[in-house]
Amino acid sequence: MANNPIKDEFSRFPDKRVFAIVLIPFGLGYFLSYLFRTVNVVIAPSLATDLSLTAADLGLLTSIYFVLFAAFQTPLGVILDRYGPRRVQAILLFVAALGSVLFATSHSMAVLTIARSLIGLGVSGCLMAALKANAQWFPVARLPFVNACTMSFGTFGALTATIPVEMLAGLYGWRTIFIVLALFTVALALITAFIIPDHVAPKDATDRGNYTIGDQFRDLGAIYCDRFFWQIAVVTMLHGGVFLSYQALWMGPWLADVAGYSQVSVANAMLFFNIGMFAGVVGFGVLADRLQKFGLGLMTIVRFGVGASLIVQMMFAMEVTSLGVFMCAAFGFFGSSTLLVYALLGQKFSGHMVGKVNTAQNMLIFIGAFVVQWGIGVIIDFWPAVGDGRYDPAGHQVALTCVIALEVLAYIWLLMPSSMDKREQGNSVS
């Protein structure tokens, strides 16, 4: 009987050890990435006051993270597939640490923007490296669940960026937060470099020693010409962009300016937002893992989650402020459903393309996040600020209505028949 390469790998690193020395360290990288991404949502008033920032300035400073993050996704996919996630992750984390130190010690908008860009570049590979490692170490059928485990670390990062950050900022100031983050990042880079093992390809795997950079970019061309990829990418770019924009920045100002929340109440509401996201990441991952056995595929689950998320966003647009905390939790829960698309794309494309297809999708999400987050600030600035780092509620509502309209158009495209629908139907029949 031929050797089973998956069984051979797991015999070298039993299940618990794989989780301990592979999934957890990469998961901590995603924790850090999400903490850097969302930390500004609580300290935004302090940043705006200390640096005299307009809404557009604040949107640009926060969203520049997404620009470098997105710009690096295409080369990131290539080097992840070629050099492996451990090496790439360790190097990038040192870049993030440098950016965090620079952010903590800067006093001008220009230097802060450069620092935020370095942070974005440095953590740009955290999730993609983790997903690549998961694809290497775990069976493809378990990817929805395993990826959900990894992404749950991100939700803890988002949770940390709420009340703990608000308390630390109140005691020591926002600059101390970034010094602490820099130290944590350096420690994690060292763990990644010296604790995580390199994955050894099975002996019967396709020989990719002659797989050139040109071959890598031809694979990218095939991805970008795939109709199913774009059917997924358009809705995740817009929905994911809106979700990240509000989680990373604009939900806090909306709660303060429209719902009248204090800064402490904003931190509490964002805690529920991120608890909802944690429940959604784990819940949708477990649900997908179970429902696939009954022929209900990931595409159906993603459509349901995005549709429910749009309903919650419409409640925000209608100013149902009495349910603010509940809506934050619901937005976090249903908005996290698009994280399933990474497992969905992993099922659609072959293993050697996983890094590239995931980073291609990720690039579009963060381009969407940059445009949406900055664009919301530009729209809000059409109304005069009301002082003390607060903005006119009318600007918030117009901006939110505009992005929801775009999401609805993308959602209609997602509902169109796809190649994965045929595959799901075939699996249910068989």
**Secondary structure in 3-state letters for 31-59:** HHHHHHHHCHHHHHHHHHHHHCCCHHHHH
123, two tokens: 């953590």
* pTM of the complete model: 0.70
- Rounded to whole angstroms, what are the CA distances from 410 to 17, 78, 207, 277? 42, 28, 39, 22
pLDDT bucket at 346, cuts 50 / 70 / 90: confident
Q: 10 Å Cβ neighbour count for 188?
A: 22
**DSSP-derived 3-state class of residue 385:** coil
pLDDT tops 90 at residue 399? yes
H or E segment to which residue 251 belongs: helix 251-257
Whether residue 200 is predicted with pLDDT greater than 80 in this model: the reply is no
3-7, 16-20, 68-72: least confident range = 3-7
* pLDDT confidence band for 351 (50 / 70 / 90): low
Quote the DSSP letter at residue 259: S
Mean local confidence (pLDDT), 204-213: 51
By C-alpha distance, which of 219, 250, 190, 280 is closest to 375? Answer: 250
Give mean pLDDT, residues 60-72. Answer: 77
CB 344 within 8 A of CB 361: no
If phi > 0 it is left, if psi is from -120 to 50 it is alpha, else beta; for residue 319 that is left
- Cβ–Cβ contacts within 10 Å for residue 388, how many? 9
Mean pLDDT, rounded, for 169-173:
79
> Token pair of 357, please?
């297809």
First to last CA, the chain: 27
pLDDT average, residue stretch 386-409: 89
The H or E element containing residue 242 is: helix 227-245
Q: Is the pLDDT score of 413 beyond 50?
A: yes
3-state secondary structure of 387: strand
Task: Write the CB contacts of 373 (distance below 8 Å, at least 6 apart in sequence).
Answer: 59, 62, 63, 66, 241, 244, 245, 248, 249, 250
Check if the beta carbon of residue 424 is closer than 8 Å to that of residue 294: no
- Please give the pLDDT value at position 280: 87
CA dist 57 and 374 (Å) reads 8
Give the residue, 427 or 335, on which the prediction is more confident: 335
Stretch 11-37: mean pLDDT, rounded? 78
Please answer whether residues 189 and 94 qualify as being in contact, where contact means their C-beta atoms are separated by less than 8 angstroms: yes
If one counts every other C-beta atom within 10 angstroms of the C-beta of residue 179, the result is 15
Q: What is the tens place of the pLDDT at every residue in 78-98?
A: 788 778 888 899 999 999 999
* Amino acid identity, position 162: T
What fold does the segment set 12-196+213-429 form as a domain? Answer: Growth Hormone; Chain: A; (1.20.1250)
Amino acid 423: pLDDT: 58
Task: Write the single-letter amino acid at 254.
Answer: W
**What is the distance between the alpha carbons of residues 418 and 276, in angstroms, rounded to a whole number?**
30
Q: Which residue has the higher pLDDT, 209 or 231?
A: 231
pLDDT at 203: 45
Tell me the one-letter amino acid at 246: Y
In whole angstroms, what is the distance from residue 296 CA to residue 310 CA? Answer: 22
| Of the listed ranges 1-15, 301-315, 365-379, the one predicted with least confidence | 1-15
Segment 268-291 shows an average pLDDT of 82
**Residue pair 185/96 in contact by the 8 Å Cβ criterion:** yes
